[in-house]
Amino acid sequence: MLRPRYLFACLALLALTTACSRSVPSSQNADLAAVRSVEADWNKDVAAKDADKWVSYYSEDASVLLPHQMMITGKDNIKAALKPILADPNFALSFHSTRAEASKGGDFVYLIGTYSMTTSSPRDQKPVTDEGKYLTVYKKQPDGSWKAAADMINSDLPAASEHPQAAPQPKKHKTHAATTRAHRRHRA
């Protein structure tokens, strides 16, 4: 009588193990496609230079990290920071992801890519183009939409020094006469 119970217990354990090991269908591919679509729309909307439209791609508590600036958090603060940038007549931006990863839980997607941004030079107002890389983390919202929760750019240009140093001057070699005068003064 003990053997059939053992056999039944083993079969039940095997069935339970098989049921638990089946993976839940992943939505990762659908999540990646949705976020890539959001990025494509955002890239098109950049040309409008509309701060309201731009910030619509961010979550309410989003953070933007720009080079050499404090972190900007919240849609209102992001919008205020974007207004002068978007008012620049030479402003243009394009960005394209080169890598994407979706969480297995279906709540986060990150994109890594490259950007090209043109702005006016502060010195002469001529267009200057910066190229670099970016990382944007998208978070699925309660309504199912995807919004950027964190957005960071990193320029490929070398960092400009705030206090440029003067070029080092070559050392002047003392002539024999100058050395002799220095020795005479020192003895006197």
Q: Comparing 24 with 50, which gets the higher pLDDT?
A: 50
- pLDDT value, residue 109: 97
Q: Is 160 helix (H, G, I), strand (E, B) or coil?
A: coil
**Mean pLDDT of the 32-43 span:** 96
Residue 175 pLDDT: 55
Exposed / middle / buried, residue 23 (Cβ in 10 Å: 0-12, 13-18, 19+): exposed
143-147, 156-160, 184-188: the lowest-pLDDT one: 184-188
Q: Which residue type, as a one-letter code, is found at position 60?
A: E
pLDDT at 24: 44
Helix (H, G, I), strand (E, B) or coil at 163: coil
SS3 track for 24-81: CCCCHHHHHHHHHHHHHHHHHHHHHCCHHHHHCCEEEEEEEECCCCCCEECHHHHHHH
Q: Which residue has the higher pLDDT, 156 or 176?
A: 156
Mean pLDDT of 56-79: 96
Q: What is the pLDDT of residues 98-122, one digit of tens each?
A: 999 999 999 999 999 999 999 999 8
pLDDT (0 to 100) of residue 167: 46
Residue 186's pLDDT band (cuts 50, 70, 90): low
Q: At 24, list the tokens.
A: 């839940």
Structure tokens at 26: 């992943």
Report how far residue 11's alpha carbon sits from residue 65's, in angstroms, rounded to the nearest whole number.
Answer: 56
User: What architecture does CATH give domain 26-155?
Assistant: Roll (3.10)
- For residues 74 and 60, the answer to whether their CB atoms sit within 8 Å is yes
